[in-house]
Amino acid sequence: MQPFVFHNPTQIIFGAGSVDRVGKTVARHGRTALLVYGRDSIHRSGLYSRVTSALQQAGVSWIDHGGVKSNPVLSHSRAGVDKAKASQVDLILAVGGGSVLDEAKAIAAGACYDGDLWDFFSDRATVQQALPLVTVLTLAATGSEMNSGGVITNEETQQKFNLSSPHLFPRVSILDPVLTWTVPADYTAYSAVDAISHLLEGYFTSPDPVTPLQDRFVEGLVKTIMESTEQILAQPAHAEARATMMWAATWALNGLSTAGIGAYQFPNHMIEHSLSALYDIAHGAGLAIVLPAWMAWQADQHPAKFARFAREVLGCQLSDDRQCALAAARGLKDWFGAIGSPVTLSEAGIPANDIPAIAANAVMLAQKWRMPAYSAEVIANILQRAA
């Protein structure tokens, strides 16, 4: 184990019906909220009126900031910052999935900053303060509800970059698994891929070979996510599986799985961010394409951990580490395909001819994240395995 600092102050209110606690929860943090949400579904499902009724009852007023896109964009985030400043809101209330939460974090930071919002993403400024953030989660996937990071795409520069600050932990996240019962099969699958990827980035890139506590934590979570996803796909309103999946996805990126494993990396996210910056593809779908390719590329070089994963999680019984490591990559790719995700670029409609352009885009993030081993050539090599 390696030294670390762990501090996760987010309060989680979990359970069926917990969304109705949003009014009193928000009221503890202010009287005027910027209400950040996505497209029409929040109106169609009745969630918008449920949340705003609770706000009204608690004496909280709100300014609407709807229309957040999946893979949220800078221009819309800037508009949110303008609204938050103009109305001098006390806090941000995000109602939605990871995209809505990420944009809400950007707005929470931008509302307390005089410069341009992109400064935080391009490392020209660090977040010194932020408005309080309360979230109501509608999709179990990104873990944004219990961490301090967010990702925004700058449409002008085609950069999908992240910001991170201890000021951006949500004060409270309300996790009502019933809100996820209507998530369709494709997004259920992409969400599972996303959560599994969050766990495996650290698991496979940790420099420390002796982290049994974190390894078992990750293996147990991945098994649980796979099991729950299969149950949900068979029965979308499976209450237990939806609840388990929701809490599992939160654990997958709240700092627990990586505390003590040393300086790990996010190579699959680095590459995938270029896919979803350049193409209209769900983040989880992009990861389902990248992760098995990266694993196959990496398994050759460091087979031991991949072999362990294959044995502990996928039930691989091969005795040879290298064969077992390759079986891990193949097994996960097969499972991603079986739950309905694309697993190759061509299945996602991305031509192999684009690989050099994708790699060139990804290198920007490799540099920002200080991963010099990932040259454009290396990234293209990995992507070739996903053609």
Contact footprint for its own copies (CB under 8 A): 1-18, 177, 210-213, 216-217, 219-221, 223-224, 227-228, 240, 243-244, 247-248, 251, 256, 259-260
Question: Could you give the 3-state DSSP secondary structure of residue 245?
Answer: helix
We find the least distance from the C-beta atom of residue 9 to its own copies, in angstroms, to be: 4
List beta partners, residue 36.
65, 94
> Is 30 or 255 the residue whose CB approaches its own copies more closely?
255
> Is 64 or 240 the residue whose CB approaches its own copies more closely?
240
Q: What is the C-alpha to C-alpha distance for residues 272 and 151, in angstroms, rounded to an integer? A: 12
> Is 7 or 370 the residue whose CB approaches its own copies more closely?
7
CB-side exposure of 117: number of CA atoms within 13 Å? Answer: 29
> Is 18 or 197 the residue whose CB approaches its own copies more closely?
18
Q: Which H or E run contains 151?
A: strand 149-154
We find the least distance from the C-beta atom of residue 309 to its own copies, in angstroms, to be: 14
> Is 195 or 271 the residue whose CB approaches its own copies more closely?
195
Rg value, the chain, Cα:
20
> Is 238 or 333 the residue whose CB approaches its own copies more closely?
238
> Is 246 or 382 the residue whose CB approaches its own copies more closely?
246
CB-side exposure of 170: number of CA atoms within 13 Å? Answer: 31
We find the least distance from the C-beta atom of residue 116 to its own copies, in angstroms, to be: 32
User: Residue 92 corresponds to which tokens in the numbers above?
Assistant: 């941000």
Look at residues 64, 68, 39, 40 and name the one whose alpha carbon lies nearest to residue 52: 64
> Is 1 or 112 the residue whose CB approaches its own copies more closely?
1
We find the least distance from the C-beta atom of residue 13 to its own copies, in angstroms, to be: 5
List beta partners, residue 151.
162
Look at residues 240, 266, 280 and name the one whose alpha carbon lies nearest to residue 147: 266
Cα 9 to chain centroid, rounded = 19
We find the least distance from the C-beta atom of residue 54 to its own copies, in angstroms, to be: 17
| CA atoms 365, 371, 375, 378: torsion sign | negative
Query: Looking at 9-148, which runs of residues are DSSP E strands?
Result: 11-14, 32-37, 61-65, 91-96, 133-137
We find the least distance from the C-beta atom of residue 223 to its own copies, in angstroms, to be: 7
We find the least distance from the C-beta atom of residue 230 to its own copies, in angstroms, to be: 12
Do 225 and 192 form a contact (C-beta atoms < 8 A)?
yes
If 0-12 CB within 10 Å is exposed, 13-18 middle and 19+ buried, where does residue 82 land?
Answer: middle
We find the least distance from the C-beta atom of residue 7 to its own copies, in angstroms, to be: 4
